[in-house]
Structure 1
């Protein structure tokens, strides 16, 4: 698994390609394309990035009734993407529809189905914010563990959550269920709009199977060197 994802949080594809073209042909990291870039540039950009040899994680956080999400995932799977996010709060039936849609869409064009990753709680949420916003008394740990169990039951490949919940997720789910963690910063970098952040090495020690890194790489003076530093730290721990 290419388990270190660079978040392409750029305004348009011109800026994204300026960044990606800094990587030599023998270094093709996995990249995360989020809503901002996808809604502006559309499927053609996703297909171009995939054709250039990059692993593609499409982060659209789908959340709707089961039929709608299932059909949406079926269409997105035809793009030959590698990972796709949906909200676990949509429930087991919605997630199962997504799994079925992924298989159908991929089969229709002869590619592998994307791994579906469930959003538990956003890393911008503190526990107090989560409780106030969702009008719940459950702790962050209880909420994330519950949602991860639902994702596992529905057949998702894993979840997106803070590294602080990775071990709990592994303890509550089947072997091989993935914990992919955003909110990653190199030591000394600003945390920005994230509330729960860790370094790559610490994420590894906490049980993360993969990490999503944005500004520590995309805003670095030497993005390739920064990426290689992240790889080294995550692989070795810290």
Structure 2
């Protein structure tokens, strides 16, 4: 696992359909106070050049494409992400040990080695949802199982709900990153997330990095919203 600074802890999810509003948002942000996430929609619409532009402006970029394929294909995709200069990239833990190990080993050969984390169970899925796709037990049972597998595979961390972070943390130690979406300030709507928690509660529960989208990006004043969240977590060590 690669050593990583856990500050800044907030990763702003740039869930836009075009470049203009994203660039307008980040024009007022300081790379020292937040990181950025680019997901499937933005990457599909805007491509690698947009990611390189964000990196060029000094931001740590989490490329959230959740690779899930045969081991060599995933390893090659992760290496391509590294070529863009991204700070972190992810895969689906359900792709299995061999896939994760192959991706990690490929990244370890590169001069620029982004962090590699794995998605456990999507935060939009409840118990009925995971049962329909063949997973037995509650979401937390599957998160714990997949987090263990990811840790054993030598990756840097996992994406998990903040509700499960407290159960995962003792199993993986303090240096294994827990990246949590489903984080909402108390005043914000839950939107399509089912397993949610406030930013400070998520950190107290064991989370390291907080992915926050619409409470910041859809706010009337995104910078003010980000500042309020930063103030909320300021008392947490390293917040």
Give the TM-score, by structure 2 length. 0.91
Residues 181-192 of structure 1: pairs in structure 2 closer than 5 A: 181-192=180-191
Do 1:5 and 1:31's aligned partners in 2 also have CA atoms closer than 8 Å?
yes
Shift of 1:3: 2.1
**Which range moved further: 59-68 or 197-206?**
197-206
Query: What residue in structure 2 maps to residue 71 of structure 1?
Result: 76
Change (3 A) 1:13 1:26: closer
Distance 2:186 2:169 in 1: 26
Query: What residue in structure 2 maps to residue 21 of structure 1?
Result: 27
Distance 2:51 2:31 in 1: 20
Change (3 A) 1:232 1:26: same
2:107 to 82, 87, 102: 102
Query: What residue in structure 2 maps to residue 88 of structure 1?
Result: 93
Change (3 A) 1:128 1:37: same
Structure 1: where are the runs of 5+ without partners?
Answer: none
Distance 1:155 1:79 in 2: 23
Count of residue pairs brought into register by the alignment: 230
Residues 190-201 of structure 1: pairs in structure 2 closer than 5 A: 190-201=189-200
Do 2:31 and 2:59's aligned partners in 1 also have CA atoms closer than 8 Å?
no
Shift of 1:193: 0.8
Divergent runs of 4+, >4 A: 25-28
Structure 1 residue matching 2:36: 3-state secondary structure: strand
Q: Deviations over 1:21-55 (max 9, x none)?
A: 122x5755200000100111111111110110111
Shift of 1:137: 2.4
Give the TM-score, by structure 1 length. 0.92
Distance 2:134 2:182 in 1: 24
Instruction: Provide the alpha-carbon RMSD of the alignment.
Output: 1.5
Distance 1:143 1:6 in 2: 26
Change (3 A) 1:121 1:228: same
